[in-house]
Structure 1
Amino acid sequence: MSRISHTPVAVLVCLGVAALVAAPGLLTPGLLNAAIQMLIAALFATAYNVVCGQAGMLSFGHAAYFGVGAFATIHAMNAFGGTGLLPTPLLPLAGAGAGLLVGIGAGWFATKRSGTYFAMITLAIAELLHSLAPHLKGWFGGEAGVSAMRQPWLGLSFGSTVQVYYLTLAWVLGSLALLFFFTRTPLGRLALGLRENSHRLAFLGYDVHRLGVLVFAISAMFAGVAGGLQVVGNEAVNYVVFDATLSAAVVLNSYIGGVKVFLGPALGASLMTFFGYAVSDLTVSWLLYQGIVFLLVMLYVPDGLAGLLRLWTGLRRRFGLAAVLPLALAAVLASVLVAGGVAFAVELLQRIFTQDYRALAAASPDAAWPAVTLAGRAWPPASPWTWLVPAGLLAAGALLAWTVRLGHGRLQGRDAAPSPLVTAEAARSLA
Structure 2
Amino acid sequence: MNARTFTLAALGLGLITLLGLPWLLSMGLLNAAIQMLIAALFASAYNVVCGQAGMLSFGHAAYFGVGAFATVHAMNALGGAGLVPTPLLPLAGALGGLLVGGAAGWFSTQRTGTYFAMITLAIAELLHSIAPHLKSVFGGEAGVSSMRMPSLGLGFGSTTEVYYLTLIWVLASLLLLYLYTRTPLGRLAMGLRENRHRLAFLGYDVHKLSVLVFALSAMFSGIAGGLQVVSNEAANYVLFESTLSAAAVLNTYIGGVGTFLGPALGAALMTFFGYAVSDLTQSWLLYQGILFVVVMMFMPQGLAGLIRGAVLLWRRVGPWRVLPVLLGFFSATMLLASGTAFLVEMLRRLFSRDYRAMLSADPAVPWPPIPLYGVEWAPAAFLTWAIPLVLLVVGGVLVYFTRRQLQAVQDERPVGGATASTSALPMQESA
Task: Please say whether Structure 1 and Structure 2 have the same fold, judged by a TM-score greater than 0.5.
Answer: yes
Match of 1:24 among 14, 22, 25: 22
Once the two structures are superposed, the pairs formed by residues 152-301 of structure 1 within 5 Å of their partners are 152-301=150-299
Aligned residue type for 1:373:
P
Residues 1:367 and 2:357 aligned together = no
Partners of 2:89 and 2:372 lie apart in 1 by 47
- 1:305 equivalent in structure 2: 303
Aligned residue type for 2:40:
A
Aligned residue type for 2:302:
G
Shift of 1:109: 0.7
- 1:74 equivalent in structure 2: 72
- 1:86 equivalent in structure 2: 84
Partners of 1:183 and 1:358 lie apart in 2 by 56
- 2:338 equivalent in structure 1: 340
Shift of 1:363: 2.9
Under a length normalisation based on structure 2, what TM-score does the superposition of the two structures give?
0.95
Shift of 1:365: 6.3
Shift of 1:414: 2.9
- When structure 1 is superposed on structure 2, of 356-365 and 115-124 the one drifting more is 356-365
Shift of 1:317: 1.3
Partners of 1:368 and 1:243 lie apart in 2 by 45
Gaps (5+ residues) in structure 1? 423-431
Gaps (5+ residues) in structure 2? 421-431
Shift of 1:413: 2.9
Partners of 1:69 and 1:217 lie apart in 2 by 13
Partners of 2:359 and 2:342 lie apart in 1 by 21
Deviations 1:311-365 (A, max 9, x none): 1111111111000011001111110110000000000000011110011122346
- 2:100 equivalent in structure 1: 102
Match of 2:9 among 8, 11, 17: 11
Match of 1:406 among 404, 407, 410: 404
Aligned residue type for 1:370:
P
Residues 1:380 and 2:378 aligned together = yes
Deviations 1:99-119 (A, max 9, x none): 001111011111111100110
Deviations 1:283-310 (A, max 9, x none): 0000000000000000000000001001
**SS where residue 151 of structure 2 aligns?**
coil
Residues 1:65 and 2:29 aligned together = no
Partners of 2:278 and 2:82 lie apart in 1 by 35
Distance 1:30 1:51, change over 3 A: same
Deviations 1:39-77 (A, max 9, x none): 000000000000000000000000000000000000000
Aligned residue type for 2:314:
R
Aligned residue type for 1:372:
I
- When structure 1 is superposed on structure 2, of 32-41 and 6-15 the one drifting more is 6-15
Shift of 1:404: 1.0
Whether the 8 Å CA contact 2:313–2:410 is kept in 1: the answer is no
Residues 1:137 and 2:132 aligned together = no
Whether the 8 Å CA contact 2:317–2:412 is kept in 1: the answer is no
Partners of 1:421 and 1:338 lie apart in 2 by 36
Partners of 1:367 and 1:127 lie apart in 2 by 50
Alignment coverage as a number of residue pairs:
417
**SS where residue 313 of structure 2 aligns?**
helix
Aligned residue type for 1:12:
A
Shift of 1:368: 1.4
Shift of 1:366: 3.2
Deviations 1:233-279 (A, max 9, x none): 00001100000000000000000000111000000000000000000
Partners of 1:208 and 1:171 lie apart in 2 by 31
Shift of 1:135: 0.6
- When structure 1 is superposed on structure 2, of 271-280 and 404-413 the one drifting more is 404-413
**SS where residue 166 of structure 2 aligns?**
helix
**SS where residue 371 of structure 2 aligns?**
strand
Partners of 1:363 and 1:389 lie apart in 2 by 30
- 1:427 equivalent in structure 2: none
Show structure 1 runs of 4+ deviating over 6 A: 419-422
Match of 2:37 among 28, 32, 39: 39
Distance 1:225 1:364, change over 3 A: same
Aligned residue type for 1:277:
Y
Distance 1:421 1:408, change over 3 A: closer
Under a length normalisation based on structure 1, what TM-score does the superposition of the two structures give?
0.95
**SS where residue 414 of structure 1 aligns?**
coil
* RMSD over equivalenced CA pairs, Å: 1.5
Shift of 1:400: 1.0
Whether the 8 Å CA contact 2:413–2:419 is kept in 1: the answer is no
Aligned residue type for 1:242:
F
**SS where residue 134 of structure 1 aligns?**
helix
Partners of 2:122 and 2:158 lie apart in 1 by 39
- 1:315 equivalent in structure 2: 313
Shift of 1:8: 1.6
Partners of 1:198 and 1:249 lie apart in 2 by 27
- When structure 1 is superposed on structure 2, of 254-263 and 312-321 the one drifting more is 312-321
**SS where residue 335 of structure 2 aligns?**
helix
Shift of 1:420: 12
Match of 1:349 among 347, 350, 353: 347
